[in-house]
Each structure stands twice: as structure tokens, then as C-alpha cells.
């Protein structure tokens, strides 16, 4: 099929061909695939308040929307849904499902038909990560869908993110390693709470967990096995690979850290394919889950900002805005490759989704304990040994948010005033990592992957004790006296930036004193 010459460019959809993998020719036109069409938010009853504005309001006066009310007031418009149905029917596409709250419609058809309808060509690639389709240039849409559609995901299914987990290096085999409970005690997590009544969502893009691993792990810790369930997104499932060096390490680290520190909370794992479509759909499934009602979302996957299209960045950001309106805290790890977020020679860069101003970004430290007390804590940086380091720096995609106006954030690599990453930190160095259990064996893991579920468990405890979700909490954390509830990390660097008093681009405000943070939030 030839593309319709009357098609209009879909703003923000432009992509470049990947630099990894080998092009093998045109994608199979007969292959049947499914795409996600993301629609505009219904604004006829008013607009969602900007995230930063909502964050500045006193928590007691915040009125979080229920998921039902959100769908009714700010979900997709019925006329937009009808327009997509009509478009699908006219071109022989199947509408496999639609969800008003998520503003999403899923269309199924062949590669040939969908490529023609959206004005693009797809190339098949082989890579060490597997086969995928990729495209370049912009997508195009018919005039009837103009202003209705804000993104189309799934035509290009190249890998979108990587897990931010690291094994303990061999040279550090005799270094101390801690249980999540020991780390939580060192950070003064409020002992009178266990996350009861809360729900923590974990976003995973591969691998899986085994119930036998969890049972054995929590029994060893003397903790009741928490409620852990899996949600399938876009056909991905809880699928353990059996390899402790693969994505199972990410999944079980997340579950075991969150479950150890908030054993009373329900833990729900959303498994999506590792594509921009799967990543976005997994997040939107968690944000708008009217069955489990998560109020904390932990994301331990990501990639350099430059690897995402503008429509992807905007689509993710819109879901984080939805989360803020629902009182859901979104937490993401800041990456494990230091200040360039991907290897020497790539220049300074930060990791997304941690770089979103609507997300609580987590950096990493090297933590040494003396009993239950902190003996020393510095920036995690093992680049000299060919290992990892905490991500951190300044965004070139998102402007500096108002809550960082007084944080002395340096200029972004392009000279603009950008959002500083991270906001907070926690133990991440695999050399002082976490004792966990993966694929039938005890292992020690680290990476900023561990810090996101660590903070998710802390937020679950705070939500329980405060009696109301903290929701979008970034603005509060930067204000006095709340910002005093952090242990500043003043020693070390991440290969591009150095730590220092106050906020810094390696460890943000620092690591938490959970009890002091509870007191400050109660006062606020």
C-alpha cells in the first residue's frame, strides 16, 4: 500500500535509525502486530493543575481524584474514541481494546497496512538483544485524527530501556553486604509502620520472580511473605529466565527490597515488553489500575534521554501528571553508568524517566555500617575499576522545576537551565550491596535499581502513618524544614559532577532519615 499523500505529520513522532544491531531489510509486511494509540486528555471540564502547582499546595488541602472520577473528567473523549473506531473500521484494523482512563486504544493489523496508514517504513534488525523493527522520520496521520492523537506506539519495537542493577564485583567478595532491613534501620525508617493498607507497583520489562525464591528469602529474614502478584501488559508475563545474571536479578531485587521494608503492603509487578510501547503501557496500567489501586510506583529501568522520541517523553510525562492527580508517588532510579549514562565518550547525559520533573529520582551511595549506625557514606563511583557509578546531572529535555530554583543546579550540557537529577539517594554500590535471593541462590546486588524500591517502601510507610498519600512529594522535600531530614553526601563524584553540601548532581538532597522525614511531613 502507498501512503496517503494527504496524511499530516504527527508532532514529536520523529525517530532516527538505531546505531546498534544489523539492518536485515524491510520488516515482514504480513506480520500481525498491535499498536497503542494515545489520545489527548479531555479538558472540557477543566485542566489538570500543573504538577508543580499541585505539589506546592498543603497536603491536607489536596483533593486527590479517584480513578473513576479521573476517567470521567480527564480520560479520553468519547468522540475521539469514536473517531479511532471509525478509522479502524474503514481500513480493516481490529480494535482489540480501549481504556478511557488511560486514553489508549489498541489497534491490530499487519505491518504492511499499519506502516502505510501511518506513513512510515519499518526495517528489520538483528541485535544481541534479539530481533526488532525500527523506523526513521515522523509518523503521519489522516486529517480526521488531527489534534485527537498525541502518540502512536508499537510500530518501532526496538529495546527502550535497561535495568539498573549491578552484581557485586569479584574483588569485593569479602566486603560487607546488608539485608534491606539493615539498610532501612540505618536510614531510620519509622519502625511503627510496615506499609499496611498500601500498594507498591513495580514496573518490569523482562524476567520474572519465583514464588519459591520469595518464600525462602523472607523466611530467612524472619518476615512474613508479603502479598506479591503479577499483572501482564501487552502480552508480557512473569517469566523467570533461570539466570541470576539476567533480568530476573532486577525483578527479584525490586520485589525483595520493597517487600522486606514494607511487608504489610501489597506488591504488584507490572510486566511489559521492553519497548517504548510496553514501557508506557506498563506505567499507564499501574497509574490507572482500579483493581489494586497502587499509590507508589517504583521504576528501576531507563535509558539516556536522547534515546526517546519527543512523543515518548510527552506520553510518559502525561502519565506521571495523571499519577500526581491521583495521589500516586512515582519513583525512578537515576542510572548506573555515571554522568554520561551510557559509557565513555557519549557526553554528559541523564537517565529517563528519572529526569522527569514529576518523578522522584534516586541516586546511589557507598554505605558502610557499624552495627546499625552509619559509619560513612559517599557517592557510589567504581568507574576506575571498570564498574558502575550513580547517574546524575542535568536534563536537556526538561526545564528546571520551581522546586529546584534555589538548589544551585548547574547548567545543562547544552547551556540551558535544566531539571537536576537526582532528588534523593540511598545505598547502591554493589560492593556494599543488598543480600537477596535470585533463581534459587543467595546473591549480592546493587545499582540505583535498589534505591527506587527502597524509597517506595519508605513512602508506603509514610503514607500509612500520615493517613493520606504523600503523592507528588518533590516540592515538599526541597522546602525547609523537610530538606533537613536528609543526610547530605559531600564526598565523591560520578565522573562528571562532584558531591557537596546541599543538593548535588550525584546524590541530590542526600539519603533519608525516615523518622525525621515523617516528623517534617506531619508538620508540613
254 is catalytic: yes
336 contacts 390 by C-beta, under 8 angstroms = yes
Dig out the grid coordinates for 19 from the structure: 546505531
3-state secondary structure of 298: strand
* Bridge pairing between strands 266-271 and 149-153: unpaired
Number of H helices, E strands in the chain: 12, 27
Q: Which of 156, 213, 250, 439 is catalytic?
A: 250
Length of the chain: 524
Measured distance between the N- and C-terminal CA atoms of the chain, rounded to whole angstroms = 60
402 is catalytic: no
439 is catalytic: no
Torsion of CA 420, 512, 196, 440, to 10 degrees: 90
Q: Which of 156, 182, 252, 254 is catalytic?
A: 254
C-alpha separations of 253 from 11, 164, 423 in Å: 38, 11, 22
**Which of 6, 460, 455, 453 has the alpha carbon at shortest distance from 196?**
460
66 contacts 172 by C-beta, under 8 angstroms = no
Element (H, E) at 369: strand 360-370
3-state secondary structure of 234: coil
Q: Which of 156, 449, 476, 488 is catalytic?
A: 449
Within 8 A by CB and 6+ apart from 51, the residues are: 320, 321, 324, 357, 358, 472
521 contacts 476 by C-beta, under 8 angstroms = yes
C-alpha separations of 173 from 337, 367, 369, 381 in Å: 21, 16, 17, 17
Distance CA(128)–CA(21), nearest Å, equals: 7
Catalytic residue set: 250, 254, 449
Amino acid at each position: 500500500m502507498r501512503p496517503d499523500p494527504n496524511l499530516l505529520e504527527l508532532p514529536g513522532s520523529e525517530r532516527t535509525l538505531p546505531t546498534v544491531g544489523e539492518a536485515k531489510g524491510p520488516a515482514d509486511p504480513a506480520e500481525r502486530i498491535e499498536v497503542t494509540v494515545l489520545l489527548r486528555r479531555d479538558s472540557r471540564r477543566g485542566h489538570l493543575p500543573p504538577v508543580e502547582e499541585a505539589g506546592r499546595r498543603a497536603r491536607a488541602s489536596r483533593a486527590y481524584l479517584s480513578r473513576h472520577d479521573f476517567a470521567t473528567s480527564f480520560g479520553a473523549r468519547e468522540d475521539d474514541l469514536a473517531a479511532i473506531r471509525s478509522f479502524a473500521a474503514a481500513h480493516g484494523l481490529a480494535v482489540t481494546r480501549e481504556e478511557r482512563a488511560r486514553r489508549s486504544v489498541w489497534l491490530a493489523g499487519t505491518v504492511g497496512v499499519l506502516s502505510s496508514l501511518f506513513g512510515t517504513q519499518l526495517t528489520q534488525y538483528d541485535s544481541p538483544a534479539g530481533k526488532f523493527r525500527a523506523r526513521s522520520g515522523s509518523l503521519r496521520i489522516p486529517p480526521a485524527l488531527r489534534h485527537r492523537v498525541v502518540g502512536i506506539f508499537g510500530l518501532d519495537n526496538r529495546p527502550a530501556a535497561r535495568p539498573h542493577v549491578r552484581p557485586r564485583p569479584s574483588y569485593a567478595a569479602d566486603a560487607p553486604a546488608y539485608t534491606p532491613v539493615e539498610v532501612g534501620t540505618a536510614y531510620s525508617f519509622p519502625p511503627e509502620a510496615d506499609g499496611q493498607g498500601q500498594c507498591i507497583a513495580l514496573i518490569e520489562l523482562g524476567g520474572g520472580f519465583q514464588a519459591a525464591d520469595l518464600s525462602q528469602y523472607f523466611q530467612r529474614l524472619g518476615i512474613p511473605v508479603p502479598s506479591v502478584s503479577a499483572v501482564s501488559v501487552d502480552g508480557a508475563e512473569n517469566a523467570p529466565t533461570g539466570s541470576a545474571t539476567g533480568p530476573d536479578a532486577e525483578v527479584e531485587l525490586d520485589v525483595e527490597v520493597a517487600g522486606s521494608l514494607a511487608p504489610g503492603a501489597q506488591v504488584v509487578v507490572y510486566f511489559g515488553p521492553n519497548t517504548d510501547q510496553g514501557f508506557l503501557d506498563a506505567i499507564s496500567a499501574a497509574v490507572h489500575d482500579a483493581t489494586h489501586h497502587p499509590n507508589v510506583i517504583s521504576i528501576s529501568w531507563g535509558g539516556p534521554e536522547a534515546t526517546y522520541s519527543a512523543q515518548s517523553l510527552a506520553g510518559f510525562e502525561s502519565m506521571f501528571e495523571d499519577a500526581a492527580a491521583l495521589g500516586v508517588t512515582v519513583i525512578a532510579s537515576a542510572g548506573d553508568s555515571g554522568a554520561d549514562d551510557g559509557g565513555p565518550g557519549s557526553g554528559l547525559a541523564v537517565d529517563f524517566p528519572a529526569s522527569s520533573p514529576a518523578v522522584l529520582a534516586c541516586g546511589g551511595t557507598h554505605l558502610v555500617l557499624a552495627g546499625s549506625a552509619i559509619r560513612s557514606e559517599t557517592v557510589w563511583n567504581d568507574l576506575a575499576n571498570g564498574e558502575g557509578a550513580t547517574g546524575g546531572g542535568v536534563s536537556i529535555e526538561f526545564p528546571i522545576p520551581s522546586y529546584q530554583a534555589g538548589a544551585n543546579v548547574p547548567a545543562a550540557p547544552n547551556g540551558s537551565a535544566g531539571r537536576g537529577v537526582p532528588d534523593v539517594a540511598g545505598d547502591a554500590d554493589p560492593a556494599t550491596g543488598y543480600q537477596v535471593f535470585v533463581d534459587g541462590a543467595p546473591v549480592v546486588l546493587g545499582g540505583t535499581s535498589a534505591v527506587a524500591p527502597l524509597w517506595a517502601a519508605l513512602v508506603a510507610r509514610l503514607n500509612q502513618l500520615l493517613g493520606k498519600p504523600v503523592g507528588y512529594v518533590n516540592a515538599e522535600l526541597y522546602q525547609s524544614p523537610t530538606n533537613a531530614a536528609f543526610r547530605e553526601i559531600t564526598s565523591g563524584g560520578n565522573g562528571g559532577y562532584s558531591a557537596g553540601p546541599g543538593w548535588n548532581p550525584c546524590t541530590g538532597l542526600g539519603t533519608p532519615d525516615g523518622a525525621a522525614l515523617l516528623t517534617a511531613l506531619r508538620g508540613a
